[in-house]
Amino acid sequence: MEARLMLRNGEQLLLALVIPVMALVGGVAGAERLGIDLDGHRPVDVLTPGVLALAVMSTAFTSIAIATGFERRYGVIKRLGASPLPRHGLLLGKVVALLNVVALQLVLLVVVGLTLGWEPSSLSPAISVGATALAVATGTWAFASLGLFVAGVMRAEATLALANLVYLLMMAGGGVVLPTSSYGQAAVFIQWLPSAALGDAMRAALLDASVDGRAVVILLAWAVLGTLLTARTFSWE
């Protein structure tokens, strides 16, 4: 049910599928037209992992925050919480639905990236796949916990505005689509954001077939912080 509700929502489909695909196609086309070289790699090889990270962020943070915020407003969560369905079952359903949508996003974007000429790292496919799975898992946990925190303490309208604002700011200047090194001196601060950590982890996995331990630790720290904040402050109505 949760998965169907997420996929029926036009705004969430826009965030989950349309915007990432447009960012990938437009970014690659623009970079190639201008002859931009990103850290010695082809634009498509750098932008594809970054847009994959953007897709995870859009669903795990923005979509889940907005959906949960309005479910609180209309009393949906309160009623489900009073039903025979245990509350941990409700949260588990949301998590599984989220993972389903993330998997759909990644498959679609991988197909688009390959169509544009993307060539994932062939150094060690097993390490690359494992590192990507680790980045997606920790990134999903971090952003989902932060999204639920925002949705659990703010009104639905405020959650809608804040979630979209944060999404746009992180997409433009959060180090998720482009490497952190692209931001000059600001990279010193941007590298600690969960968006930059997820982008760096995805690029390390798919460009270099390696695990960016520092980025994973940063994501885990944000995940633990978001989980603790959500557990302490989340209101069911």
pLDDT (tens digit, 0 to 9) for every residue of the chain, 237 residues total? 766 766 676 666 666 778 888 888 888 888 777 666 666 778 888 899 999 999 999 888 988 888 888 888 888 777 776 777 776 677 777 778 888 888 888 999 999 999 998 988 777 788 999 999 999 999 999 999 999 899 888 888 899 899 989 988 998 888 898 888 888 888 889 999 999 999 999 999 998 889 999 999 999 999 999 989 988 887 766
Bridge partners (DSSP) listed for residue 38: 41
Tell me which residue range forms the domain holding 97. 2-233
Bridge partners (DSSP) listed for residue 41: 38
CA distances (Å), origin 64, targets 22, 57, 94, 95, 165 = 21, 10, 8, 9, 15
pLDDT for position 180 = 87
Structurally, how many domains does the chain consist of? 1
**Other CB atoms within 10 A of residue 220 CB:** 14
pLDDT for position 9 = 67
Q: CB neighbours of 77 closer than 8 A, spacing ≥ 6? A: 68, 71, 90, 236, 237
Euclidean distance between CA atoms 78 and 81, whole angstroms: 5
What pTM was computed for the model?
0.88
- Both tokens of 135, joined, read 């980045």
Closest alpha carbon to 193 in 163, 168, 215? 215
SS3 46: helix
pLDDT for position 74 = 80
pLDDT for position 32 = 72
pLDDT for position 35 = 63
Tell how far CA 136 is from the center of its chain. 8
